[in-house]
Amino acid sequence: MRYISTRGGMAPQAFSDILLGGLAPDGGLSIPESYPQFDLEALTELAKLNYRDLALEIVSRFVDDIPHADLKALIDKTYTPAVYCNGRSKAQSEHITPLIKLDGTLFVQELSNGPTLAFKDMAMQLLGNLFEYVLTARGEQVNIVGATSGDTGSAAEYAMRGKQGVNVFMLSPYGKMSPFQRAQMFSLQDENIHNLSVKGFFDACQDIVKAVNNDAEFKAKYKIGAVNSINWGRIVAQVVYYFKGYFAAAKTVGDPVDFAVPSGNFGNICAGHIARQMGLPIRRLVVATNENDVLDEFFKTGGYHPRGVDKTYETSSPSMDISKASNLERFVFDLIGRDSAKLAELWRSVEQGQGFKLSAEDFARLHDDYGFRSEASNHADRIASIREVFEKYGVQIDPHTADGFKAAKAHRDPAVTMVIMETALPAKFEDTMKEALKINPFRPAGLAGLEALPQRFDVLEADAEAIKAYLRERIAV
Ligand SMILES: *Cc1c(COP(=O)(O)O)cnc(C)c1O
């Protein structure tokens, strides 16, 4: 399996090479030359496997430069109940991503039982082990510099803590994260994890990360890397739980199943699209957005018009407050028949701030051939959904999963099984949960008292030069 760029300007590469890189040299995203295929007979065999063995069967089709036994060891170490034990029920943790049944054909798939209580752990934990393996084999190091408003940063830190060859420098806005999020990140005492609390907003943190990366000399000398949502390793790891969820929900292998996915950067649902292209009988993929509805607009009109950060609203499902969906480029590449010249032209107009509109034929295929639907929610919808799910089914869902619930309801066919992807545990969003349910959400036992642990972070000015000086002092070259 080799990888090319969506924009056509990269010689085919092996998995380990693109794993550590960010954008392809031509500004595109890496994507496999073709998708591995599973027919009904092969799927029936996969359905018998536990999460680890299933992950090995799927991930190994995308990786041909890591020996099978080594890949197996990395996957076994990643997907163990000991890591995914923060869910509602310890007894279920062997399933890693267990299903909760709401009614006869409506399910929630728990993806948030990892260390930071968000689905990002599912992929990031594997990435941490893959990075360590590849860097150790090559005798290299990487210094991950990122910006976070909460979820991504903590998932990256918990995945990379204590890993050989990896340092993490995570910028977050000083005083702007919830006490829980702050405690999650800042209580890590590992020497390779550095929390930089920046006096400014999230945008300022992001601008500084961009400035560091735009300094090519600095970037090369200090081996600056990233683990953002375009990372291919993250997408591959996410493909696995669609198979797992499908097998758990379908009465018979071959039956159609729909998935509803709370979306921001289009990483999670892009993995669903890939699973579908591999032969998994997914019927519909329902994109759920909040008030930041650039994706809902795309799937309803065929027009993709990313908005500026100044037009991004702060909402009560904050991890979906995104005005530009980086991974959409991978899906559109497939949709337009993998025509990289055409793709490059479309994204040139995105980068110039104009966006684009699909042709009528491509727009029709998006629904008919690729199964996409979409729905947007607002704060009142989230509160109503959280209440409805709790009152009807006795299940607490977080505000992001609530966006998924509304989208699932809007596109549900009672004859077809629907799985809503749970992207975070309610414990991360106490204020909204209390507003909806008047009670505190359940918190996993191991995290009681989290906020009282000693915290380790440095406060810095929102100035790229100050951050570079901080990095120079701490990175041995
Ligand atoms: C990151 C995140 C999302 C959005 O996922 P994408 O892969 O960016 O579409 C949704 N919900 C939560 C809780 C998240 O952390």
**Average pLDDT of the residues in 204-208:** 89
Whose Cα sits closest to atom 14 in ligand 1? 319
Whether residue 176 is predicted with pLDDT greater than 90 in this model: the reply is no
What is the token pair recorded at 260?
Answer: 């509803």
**Average pLDDT of the residues in 238-250:** 98
pLDDT of residue 254: 98
Q: Which atom of ligand 1 is nearest to the CA of 265?
A: 8
120 catalytic per annotation:
yes
pLDDT of residue 111: 97
**Average pLDDT of the residues in 405-432:** 96
Asked whether residue 174 is domain-assigned, the answer is: no
Whether residue 226 is predicted with pLDDT greater than 90 in this model: the reply is no
pLDDT of residue 46: 98
Local confidence band at 472 (pLDDT 50, 70, 90 cut-offs):
very high
pLDDT of residue 63: 97
Whether residue 150 is predicted with pLDDT greater than 80 in this model: the reply is no
Dist CA 369 CA 279 (whole Å): 13
Local confidence band at 323 (pLDDT 50, 70, 90 cut-offs):
confident
401 lines ligand 1 (CB under 6 A): no
pLDDT of residue 282: 98
- Of 127-136, 202-211, 293-302, 332-341, minimum mean pLDDT range: 202-211
Residue-wise pLDDT for 428-463, tens only, equals 999 999 999 999 999 998 898 999 999 999 999 999
288 lines ligand 1 (CB under 6 A): no
β-strands 193-199, 166-173 pairing: parallel
Which among 400, 373, 102 is positioned nearest to 259, based on CA atoms?
Answer: 373
Residue 155 in contact with residue 185, Cβ under 8 Å? no
306 lines ligand 1 (CB under 6 A): no
Q: Which atom of ligand 1 is nearest to the CA of 151?
A: 15
In 10 A of CB 104, how many CB atoms?
Answer: 8
Options 48, 90, 120, 324, the catalytic residue: 120
Q: Which atom of ligand 1 is nearest to the CA of 266?
A: 9
Whose Cα sits closest to atom 7 in ligand 1? 267
**Average pLDDT of the residues in 383-412:** 98
Asked whether residue 135 is domain-assigned, the answer is: no
Residues 265-297, buried b or exposed e (16+ Cβ, 10 A)? bbbbbbbbbbbbbbebebebbbbbbbbbbbbbb
Whether residue 262 is predicted with pLDDT greater than 80 in this model: the reply is yes
Whether residue 309 is predicted with pLDDT greater than 80 in this model: the reply is no
121 lines ligand 1 (CB under 6 A): no
266 lines ligand 1 (CB under 6 A): yes
Q: Which atom of ligand 1 is nearest to the CA of 263?
A: 9
Number of domains in the chain: 1
Q: What percent of the chain has pLDDT over 70?
A: 100
**Average pLDDT of the residues in 59-64:** 97
Local confidence band at 52 (pLDDT 50, 70, 90 cut-offs):
very high
315 lines ligand 1 (CB under 6 A): no
118 lines ligand 1 (CB under 6 A): yes
CA of 11 to the centre of ligand 1 (A): 31
CA of 138 to the centre of ligand 1 (A): 32
Q: Which atom of ligand 1 is nearest to the CA of 400?
A: 11
Asked whether residue 104 is domain-assigned, the answer is: yes
Asked whether residue 227 is domain-assigned, the answer is: no
SS3 assignment, position 24: coil
Whether residue 92 is predicted with pLDDT greater than 90 in this model: the reply is no
Local confidence band at 90 (pLDDT 50, 70, 90 cut-offs):
confident
CA of 275 to the centre of ligand 1 (A): 18
CA of 288 to the centre of ligand 1 (A): 10
Whether residue 172 is predicted with pLDDT greater than 80 in this model: the reply is yes
Asked whether residue 70 is domain-assigned, the answer is: no
Whether residue 253 is predicted with pLDDT greater than 90 in this model: the reply is yes
Local confidence band at 395 (pLDDT 50, 70, 90 cut-offs):
very high
Best probe residue, ligand 1, of 268, 292, 293, 382 (max atoms within 8 Å of C-beta): 268
Whether residue 163 is predicted with pLDDT greater than 80 in this model: the reply is yes
Local confidence band at 299 (pLDDT 50, 70, 90 cut-offs):
very high
DSSP code at position 112? -
Asked whether residue 9 is domain-assigned, the answer is: no
Asked whether residue 178 is domain-assigned, the answer is: no
CA of 428 to the centre of ligand 1 (A): 13
Local confidence band at 61 (pLDDT 50, 70, 90 cut-offs):
very high
Residue-wise pLDDT for 97-106, tens only, equals 999 999 999 9
Whether residue 203 is predicted with pLDDT greater than 90 in this model: the reply is no
SS3 assignment, position 120: helix
pLDDT of residue 38: 98
Local confidence band at 322 (pLDDT 50, 70, 90 cut-offs):
confident
Whose Cα sits closest to atom 1 in ligand 1? 319
User: Residue 137 half-sphere exposure, CB side, CA atoms within 13 Å?
Assistant: 12
By CB atoms closer than 10 A (0-12, 13-18, 19+), residue 346 is buried
Whether residue 73 is predicted with pLDDT greater than 90 in this model: the reply is yes
**Average pLDDT of the residues in 3-7:** 97
**Average pLDDT of the residues in 52-60:** 98
Mean pLDDT, the chain, rounded, equals 95
**Average pLDDT of the residues in 300-323:** 89
pLDDT of residue 21: 79
CA of 371 to the centre of ligand 1 (A): 20
- Of 155-159, 228-232, 462-466, minimum mean pLDDT range: 228-232
Asked whether residue 187 is domain-assigned, the answer is: no
**Average pLDDT of the residues in 235-243:** 98
Whether residue 201 is predicted with pLDDT greater than 80 in this model: the reply is yes
pLDDT of residue 417: 98
Local confidence band at 177 (pLDDT 50, 70, 90 cut-offs):
confident
State which residues form the domain around 432: 90-117+235-437
pLDDT of residue 324: 86
Whether residue 310 is predicted with pLDDT greater than 80 in this model: the reply is no
417 lines ligand 1 (CB under 6 A): no
Quick one: which H or E segment has residue 430? Answer: helix 430-437
CA of 473 to the centre of ligand 1 (A): 33
CA of 363 to the centre of ligand 1 (A): 25
- Taken in order 252, 253, 258, 263, the sign of the CA dihedral is positive
Dist CA 147 CA 212 (whole Å): 12
319 lines ligand 1 (CB under 6 A): yes
pLDDT of residue 178: 83
Best probe residue, ligand 1, of 120, 296, 315, 428 (max atoms within 8 Å of C-beta): 120
- Of 139-148, 170-179, 256-265, minimum mean pLDDT range: 170-179
Which among 333, 275, 233, 354 is positioned nearest to 109, based on CA atoms?
Answer: 275
268 lines ligand 1 (CB under 6 A): yes
264 lines ligand 1 (CB under 6 A): yes
Kindly report the CATH number assigned to the domain that includes residue 283: 3.40.50.1100
